[in-house]
Amino acid sequence: MATLTLTGNALDNAIKLVSDKCAYVTLEAIESSSVRHATCIVTATGPIEFTVKSNADYTVYSTSLTAPEPVTGISASHLKYGQTAVLTLSGDPQISSIKVSSDKCTGMVLDATSSAATRTARCTVTGTGDMKLTVTNTSGGTTFYTQTVSVPEPQVTLVTSLGTVVMELNPTAAPITVKNFLAYVNQSPSFYNGTLFHRVISGFMAQGGGFTTGMNQKPKVPTGITLESQNGLLNVRGSVAMAREGPATGSPETDATRNSATYQFFVNLVNNAFLNYASSSNPGYAVFGKVISGMDVIDLMAAQPTATKNGYSDVPVTDITITSATQTQ
């Protein structure tokens, strides 16, 4: 809604006001012989023509005013997959009725207007790569501004008693698994803080996330996640996969065993092709990421002596503890 102030002589005369880009023009009551106000709904940006006419339709005055673009730039912070991004809109966003949408960010909330020169919006990031942001009028019929920002692949940093490991996750190939893993990482405090790499087999893999000192198992989760082992990611050296329950010896795989992964994960020390999907009766294990830094730390884990503790085999004699797990990207 624009407010227009008309000045000049004899504004108490019978006049009318028209415009090419301002609809529902309303002349207010006469205030004096030299001042009168009007209102209208701005329907476009850029130059807007206003014409004052007499009742006999003679043009007595015309002018052009400029409606600024409501948004001229968007900066994004906390742009992490699965988390809440903060978008800062610059330009003239405070006085305009606008809506912000995105192809990879859901639950968009636009903050209330204020006296500041910028305005913020928040949404939950649901994809990686190029994310398109679009500013429109509230009906979505007019687009004011578009911008593309890049969302990086999520990364999780594990600080362990033997060193730091950085894992890059692949939510495109394994969306269910990545969402599940990050939900544990991003608990406050992280679910993985204080857990162990409790099963380490040289020439095979290092498994963690399920036990604390003394081989005390974390509380079991009644329902696991859907197995995503047919996603094209392979159990090669450095890949990160979800651990799950296997069938009893001599028994076939069932939906209960296939979809039993919860919070335990493992890092492949070598190429373990036999862990890949082969068939519905041999569905393998779902890879959802890879180690991009600290594979030497995983190798160091494999060099530690192991023993049987509390009935569990291949347990490092000296605890290998995850002191912190953080989504760092």
Q: Give per-residue pLDDT as tens, 207-263.
A: 999 999 999 999 999 899 999 999 999 999 999 999 999 888 888 999 999 999 999
CA distance 130 to 205: 34
- Please name which of 246, 272, 267 lies closest in space to residue 320, comparing C-alpha atoms: 267
Q: What does the DSSP assignment read for 46-96?
A: EEEEEEEEETT--EEEEEEEEEPPSEEEEEEES--TTSEEEEEEEES-SSS
pLDDT at 267: 98
Distance CA 300, CA 133 (A): 45
194 and 322 Cβ atoms separated by less than 8 Å: yes
Nearest CA among 95, 97, 119 for reference residue 3: 95
Are both 221 and 110 inside the same structural domain? Answer: no
Specify the pLDDT at position 146: 96
Same domain, 38 and 87: no
- Same domain for 29 and 111, yes or no, is no
Same domain, 136 and 167: no
Same-domain check for residues 161 and 307: yes
Domain shared by 89 and 230, yes or no: no
Instruction: Judge if pTM exceeds 0.85.
Output: no
Residues 303 and 315 in one domain: yes
Instruction: Provide the number of structural domains found in the chain.
Output: 3
Cis peptide before 70 (omega within 30 of 0): no
Within 10 angstroms of residue 312's Cβ, the number of other Cβ atoms is 13
Domain containing residue 144: CATH number: 2.60.40.10
Apex 217 CA angle, 211 and 220, nearest 5:
120
Q: Are residues 183 and 258 in the same domain?
A: yes
Whether residue 52 sits in one domain with residue 76: no
* pLDDT beneath 70: ranges in the chain: 95-96
Where among 15, 41, 67 does a domain terminate?
67
Q: Are residues 266 and 235 in the same domain?
A: yes
Residue 95 pLDDT: 67
User: Under DSSP, is residue 219 helix (H, G, I), strand (E, B) or coil?
Assistant: coil
CATH number for the domain harbouring residue 186:
2.40.100.10
Among residues 151, 167, 199, which one ends one of the domains?
151
Which residue segment(s) compose the domain that 286 sits in? 155-327
Q: Which of 67, 85, 107 is the last residue of a domain?
A: 67
- Residue 138 and residue 258 in one domain: no
Please report, for residues 21, 64, 69, the alpha-carbon distance to residue 72 in angstroms, rounded to integers and kept in the order given: 20, 22, 6
Based on the domain organization, do 47 and 83 belong to the same domain?
no
Looking at the chain, the number of H-run helices and the number of E-run strands are 3, 25
pLDDT of res. 145: 93
